[in-house]
């Protein structure tokens, strides 16, 4: 009963977090709880938002996972159940969750946290906002073993801001962790910038000639209408999910490529969506627009290097992007769940 109660609490927290698109987009983010020598963690490619209706947790032997970390060995030996018939494997961040001593660990891709985490002056600016908390800045390292080792050195902290990545919050219970996450979000909150309105007539002309979709979200259109957002987006890759789901460059219309991008940016007018855009791509695009709207024009930014982008685009990231929940077409999801995407 105790085990089931703890798992139920984690699933409720996961669903709550996953339902907030400012905290989690698509299958990003992960949650875990430690029960004895078992670490229950979100499966790779699963959406936290579906925690109430879908099986998303995988059990991992905690002691063996920590041995894998010390030895630099593959995690496979620690997995108690691959649940292969359901294609469930533990998150790429499992070792990071395992190395932390807290009972509950939550990792989110908070748009507020990312807007700070892509700044070159992030450690100094965050110190002002997170004063009094046990927190640590972690410069960008790849997910998996490198991130786990970087976090291990500061395992006594409760809050980690991951450079060009996101936020980790820990506690002794789901309630405590949720309260701390709320407090951190309150401190890191940035008012999104107002952008010029989209130019629907221009977009409708492009739409008629291409058959692409016109979203009714002004935040999405701000990627193309807001000069600051355009400048930031055109200058490089800010965080891994941007590259994995949206591509290495901002796709401008007209766009010539063998691979059709998930969206087009029509300079000064707005964006159009590929009719084949997936749920994962759409959710990441929404988050990307929110991040851009929170970045100050005077902010010194730290973009990912080419080597970091190449590593992020590796085989494991490809599998992550192609997880069933991510690759399902938006058109099969229902327009009402897509912030009003419609077909004229």
CATH code for the domain of 169: 3.40.225.10
Are residues 228 and 318 both part of a single domain? Answer: yes
Domain boundary among 188, 208, 234: 188
| pLDDT recorded at residue 320 | 63
Are residues 224 and 334 both part of a single domain? Answer: yes
Are residues 214 and 180 both part of a single domain? Answer: no
Residue 327 binned pLDDT confidence (cut-offs 50, 70, 90): confident
Any domain includes 344: no
Domain boundary among 161, 188, 215: 188
Give the rounded distance of the alpha carbon of 186 from its chain centre. Answer: 19
Residue 88 binned pLDDT confidence (cut-offs 50, 70, 90): confident
Domain boundary among 153, 188, 223: 188
| pLDDT recorded at residue 187 | 98
Are residues 304 and 218 both part of a single domain? Answer: yes
Any domain includes 216: yes
Are residues 51 and 169 both part of a single domain? Answer: yes
What does the pLDDT look like over 110-142, one tens digit per residue? 999 999 999 999 999 999 999 999 999 999 999
For residue 260 the two structure tokens come to: 């059709």
| pLDDT recorded at residue 344 | 33
| pLDDT recorded at residue 341 | 44
Any domain includes 343: no
For residues 255-270, average pLDDT: 83
DSSP state, 189? -
| pLDDT recorded at residue 2 | 58
CB atoms within 10 A of CB 156: 10
Q: How many domains does the chain fold into?
A: 2
Contacts for 336 with CB less than 8 Å, ≥ 6 apart: none
Are residues 148 and 274 both part of a single domain? Answer: no
Are residues 208 and 301 both part of a single domain? Answer: yes
- Provide the β-strand partners of residue 39: 34, 60
pTM: 0.92
Any domain includes 17: yes
Are residues 313 and 288 both part of a single domain? Answer: yes
Cis peptide before 299 (omega within 30 of 0): no
Any domain includes 193: no
Helices 218-225 and 227-234: crossing angle in degrees, nearest 10, is: 70
Are residues 221 and 184 both part of a single domain? Answer: no
For residue 282, the enclosing domain spans 200-338
What does the pLDDT look like over 46-83, one tens digit per residue? 999 999 899 999 999 999 899 988 888 767 655 654 45
Any domain includes 194: no
């Amino acid at each position: 009963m105790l085990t089931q109660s703890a798992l139920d609490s984690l699933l409720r927290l996961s669903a709550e977090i996953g339902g907030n698109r400012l905290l989690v987009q698509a299958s990003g983010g992960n949650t875990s709880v430690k029960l004895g020598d078992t670490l229950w963690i979100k499966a790779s490619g699963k959406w936290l938002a579906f925690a109430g209706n879908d099986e998303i947790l995988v059990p991992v032997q905690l002691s063996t996972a920590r041995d894998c970390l010390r030895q630099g060995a593959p995690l496979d030996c620690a997995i108690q159940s691959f649940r292969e018939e359901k294609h469930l494997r533990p998150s790429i961040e499992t070792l990071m969750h395992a190395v932390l001593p807290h009972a509950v660990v939550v990792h989110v891709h908070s748009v507020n946290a990312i807007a700070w985490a892509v700044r070159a002056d992030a450690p100094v600016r965050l110190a002002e906002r997170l004063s009094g908390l046990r927190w640590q800045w972690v410069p960008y390292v790849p997910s998996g073993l490198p991130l786990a080792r970087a976090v291990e050195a500061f395992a006594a902290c409760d809050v980690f801001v991951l450079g060009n990545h996101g936020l980790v919050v820990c506690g002794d219970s789901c309630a405590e962790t949720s309260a701390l996450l709320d407090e951190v979000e309150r401190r890191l909150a940035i008012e999104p910038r107002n952008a010029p309105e989209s130019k629907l007539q221009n977009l409708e002309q492009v739409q008629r000639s291409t058959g692409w979709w016109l979203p009714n979200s002004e935040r999405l259109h701000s990627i193309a209408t807001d000069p600051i957002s355009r400048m930031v987006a055109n200058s490089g890759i800010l965080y891994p999910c941007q590259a994995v789901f949206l591509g290495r460059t901002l796709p401008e219309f007209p766009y010539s490529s063998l691979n059709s991008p998930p969206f087009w940016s029509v300079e000064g007018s707005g964006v159009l969506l590929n009719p084949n855009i997936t749920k994962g791509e759409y959710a990441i695009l929404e988050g990307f627009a929110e991040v851009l709207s929170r970045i100050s024009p005077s902010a010194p930014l730290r973009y990912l290097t080419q080597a970091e982008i190449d590593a992020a685009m590796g085989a494991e990231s490809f599998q992550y992007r192609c997880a069933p929940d991510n690759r399902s077409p938006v058109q099969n999801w229902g327009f009402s769940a897509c912030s009003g995407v419609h077909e004229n």
